[in-house]
Chains A and B, each alone.
Chain A
């Protein structure tokens, strides 16, 4: 398998692009998302839960996609989807909270979150440069200049008084050396958002968003990107992957939601996907061996996807194998690929210099 994409092998930086992070919270099983159908250990350790070879959607002969992720296959074929199996962090607590925190900080003892540092170091600013779809900023965006949490465009309105307030505010901030530019940007954003609320969003007909939270969020993010509002980083959560019990029933609806959302997002963005990277990550993978409840327990390596311009495409990274001696701790997929390498390479393509992670 090819080595991880490195700074030397990637083309020039993407200017004014957007990095989107979709966090699969709960520890998503990489062996179900991207089954290693060429690894005999997989079928030996997962007699009940393995994705049958006949149903898996082949990627490169060794790895495949779960059939519920089939909508992502055309993106993979076009080199727009990068798949990094056996990926994770060096946090081996197997605790959701500690592992998520570490991943969102991008390492121990760094100030704020990795997107926060990316936006600060990149000199990005503006009222809509960092957006978390939801009700609160995730750790990854902390420390970002002006990052906000947002669920709908309706939230960002000044209400009935808006029309009468925007003009005088513009006047009062005129000539304010410190705050003037930020204020004018904020007022401009309010005017634009007001227009967007009046004009319905019309994604292309083949962008088939699902009727769920992830799709609603991706659609909002796509709209902000298409309107050139200066969005540089966005985060979304897809929770619920903690599949201790009845893993197939837990994961299949989530995988369908993920695939539908990402495929629609890619079509909605069209050529703008060339300036957008979506990182799909999870805090850890799951134990290789299945448990007695048709589920799996907390493990280590999972899979990381990069959709869009920031990844080289294909299946990347090292595969440690699933032989007993290759497993980590109580029987987990070893972390052969550090998530920071992948995230760092993507942020670097988006212009992060040095302080990106």
Chain B
């Protein structure tokens, strides 16, 4: 694989066409190569890379790997092997079409059946984005807001290794303290550069019950409605809604 990529380089970060990727024919290893058991013939030049990408994309391990990631995202930390296999088959069958692959996933009983489907914990970035969206927040998405992601260890593009931030719930459960704080600060107008109008949200939703339905995607339980009503302040009710267990999951 490394031989196929010879000749590709990145222009310096200063000067003409900075940072552009370019191919230098004379620095390319033009001979034939063997990748994953297949021969890439001599003389393809920059098209070696297309061959490699086609090979990797069509490799059975890729389908299983991506299907596993999608299933962990939408189903469970440890999805059933048969579920992963079904999604992988849809990926292979469709030649890697994401729509067909996801359709197969969403048709699985693991996804549809309320008895087996469990809510998944939002990771901090998801939590933050969903809170901003649900509250119709105006934000400059600048440092004061991103500081919450730093504090929860989920700053964008900062994970040092290619495996990426963990997808499973366990490492993120203990970020609840900062989620509570973000909920209170957001609703209380204490995040510089980001504003939320809690009173307007509540009046638009019609009632605490409506607000809960808007945030949770379902009507509130009796306990949830009682707790939201008891606070008697739109900001506090919104903070409680964003900090509630039902808003931590998707």
Contacts and interface: CB of A to CB of B under 8 A. Distances in A.
A254 B175 CA distance: 34
Interface residues of A, number: 51
B223 A172 contact: yes
B44 interface: no
Interface stretch (A19-27, A119-127, A203-211): A119-127
A143 B243 contact: no
Given A168-B231, A176-B245, A127 B161 contact: no
Given A112-B160, A112-B161, A148 B152 contact: yes
Summarize B's interface: helix, strand, loop or mixed.
helix
A172 B174 contact: no
Contact of A142 (B147, B158, B240): B158
A116 B155 CA distance: 15
A137 interface: yes
B158 to A, nearest CB: 7
A160 B188 contact: yes
B151 interface: yes
B153 A142 contact: yes
Interface stretch (B13-21, B80-88, B164-172): B164-172
Given A110-B161, A165-B236, A127 B176 contact: yes
B138 to A, nearest CB: 20
Interface string B221-248: 0011001001101011001100111001
A105 B155 contact: no
B173 interface: yes
A141 B180 CA distance: 21
B116 to A, nearest CB: 15
Nearest to B170: A145
Contacts of B240: 165, 168-169, 172
Contacts of A79: none
B184 A144 contact: no
Given A136-B150, A159-B188, A145 B160 contact: no
A172 B147 contact: no
A192 to B, nearest CB: 11
B180 A186 contact: yes
Contact count band on B: 35 or more
Contacts of A160: 188
Interface stretch (A36-44, A177-185, A293-301): A177-185
B185 A159 contact: yes
A110 B162 CA distance: 9
Given A120-B171, A143-B166, A185-B174, A105 B121 contact: no
Interface string B178-220: 1011001101101000000000000000000000000000000
Nearest to B189: A159
B159 interface: yes
Contacts of A185: 174
A139 interface: yes
A172 B231 contact: no
Given A135-B150, A142-B153, A161-B235, A168 B230 contact: yes
B220 to A, nearest CB: 10
Nearest to A180: B245
B181 A158 contact: yes
Interface of B: 121, 147, 150-153, 155, 158-161, 163, 165-166, 169-178, 180-181, 184-185, 187-188, 190, 223-224, 227, 230-231, 233, 235-236, 239-240, 243-245, 248
6 contacts: A120-B171, A127-B174, A158-B184, A165-B243, A178-B169, A186-B177
